[in-house]
Amino acid sequence: MNYLNNIRNKLFLKESFWAAIMILPALVGTFFFIIIPVIGSFTISLTRWNLISSPKFVGLDNYIKLLSDQLFYDVLITTFIYAISVVIFSIAIPLILAVALNEKIKCLTAFRTAYFLPVITPMIVAAIVWSWIFDPNNGILNFMLTQIGINSPPLWLFDDKWSLIAIIIVSVWKNIGYNMVIFLAGLQGIPESLYEAAKIDGANTIKKLWHITIPMLTPTIFFVCIMSTISAFQVFDLIYLMTEGGPENSTMVIVYWLFKNAFEFFKLGYASSIAYVLFVIILILTLIQWKLRKKWVMFE
């Protein structure tokens, strides 16, 4: 008995040792490039620092200033409008497409590839091409709108009422393919037998969709929902490339605002405090989603 225990202990020791070795590279990376900066930026958020002169400790001043800054609330509202619209559309549209492309239709691969193309297009290319599409004078979008009889089409990126909508369109367009592929994978995991049973019971297509497909897909939808929300709150590249927050701050989202404070005005302390507020917001939203999950996600 004792002998056996000894062997098991040794084996355990050996396995855990190798496990530690295996995760060490990832752990070192996480420690140096995530844990340390996270703690570091919290410290910076308590100071006033422009990177060049020595940092000055100011306590919670940055947070107080942030919460009394009107621009912060405007930025927050813009970010929420953006995030909510992007999440809704980049779940609904890919879901419909995935269900459609899960059927045996002609040129299936061609369709799937077409919808996936935006995902592999680099953001910089997409942003430049889209800003030309949106151009009010030479852009193809307004050209087509005038062709179908709309006399004064929107000025898109040059109008503070339309600029955010334009950005949302591009974002959704970019997300569709990726989410669609995840939904397709989810759809393929639904056993055929369920549909057969439903067919025997006389269910039509709509009923099958509503009572089998969607409930079986809720874990996937939940995953896509959380990931899209997080990435929507972190949107930066599109804004940086297409509008720089304008016109009249109509597309100023929180991460771009943070970037401007940090790397244009070199207000590192203020920028770090924005980062922490953003962290808290995303944390709360994710917690809410986890809590609500029990209400609508099935088969867990």
Partner 1 sequence: MVCGMKLKTITRYIIALTLSLCLITAGCKKNNNTITIKYSTWGSETEINILKPIIKEFEKNNPNIKVDIIHIPQNYFQKLHMLVAANLAPDVMFINNLNMPVYASGNILSDLNYSLSNSSKISHKDFFPQSLKTMSYNKNLMAIPRDISNIVIYYNKDLFNKYNVEYPQENWNFEEFLEKAQQLTIDINNDKKIDIFGISFETNAIFFLPFVWSQGGNLFDKKNQHFALTEKNSCTALQFYTDLRNKYKVAPTAAEAGNSTMAQMFMQQKLAMFISGRWSVPRFRTDLDFEWDIASFPSGKAGSIVGIDGSGWSMYSKTKHPKESWMLIEYLASNKSIAEFSKTGLIVPSRKDVAFSENFINKDLPPEHAEIFLTIIDNGKPTPKTERWNEVIDLINIAMEPVWNGKQKSCPALQSIKSSVNELLE
236 lies in the binding site for partner 1 (CB under 8 A) = no
* Contact with partner 1 (CB under 8 A) among 141, 155, 168, 170: 155
* Contact with partner 1 (CB under 8 A) among 248, 283, 287, 288: 248
The dihedral sign for the CA sequence 207, 208, 209, 214 = positive
Beta bridge partners of 258: none
CB proximity list for 111: less than 8 A, separation 6 or greater: 101, 105
Chain position carrying tokens 């980049």: 90
231 lies in the binding site for partner 1 (CB under 8 A) = no
137 lies in the binding site for partner 1 (CB under 8 A) = yes
5 lies in the binding site for partner 1 (CB under 8 A) = no
Rounded least distance, CB 135 to partner 1, Å: 4
- 163-181 burial, b at 16+ Cβ within 10 Å, e below that, comes to bbbbbbbbbbbbbbbbbbb
Show the binding pattern over residues 47-86: x = contacts partner 1 (CB under 8 A), - = does not. Answer: ---xxxx---------------------------------
Query: Are the C-beta atoms of 153 and 159 separated by less than 8 Å?
Result: no
266 lies in the binding site for partner 1 (CB under 8 A) = yes
* Contact with partner 1 (CB under 8 A) among 173, 218, 246, 293: 246
- In 31-69, alpha helices (H): 36-44, 61-67
152 lies in the binding site for partner 1 (CB under 8 A) = no
* Contact with partner 1 (CB under 8 A) among 131, 218, 231, 289: 131
Rounded least distance, CB 252 to partner 1, Å: 9
Rounded least distance, CB 50 to partner 1, Å: 7
The first and second tokens of residue 227, run together, are 């990931």
CA 90/CA 162 separation, integer angstroms: 19
Query: Are the C-beta atoms of 96 and 115 separated by less than 8 Å?
Result: no
138 lies in the binding site for partner 1 (CB under 8 A) = yes
Contact residues for partner 1, defined by CB under 8 A: 13-14, 17, 50-53, 131-132, 135-139, 155, 158-159, 246-249, 260, 263-267
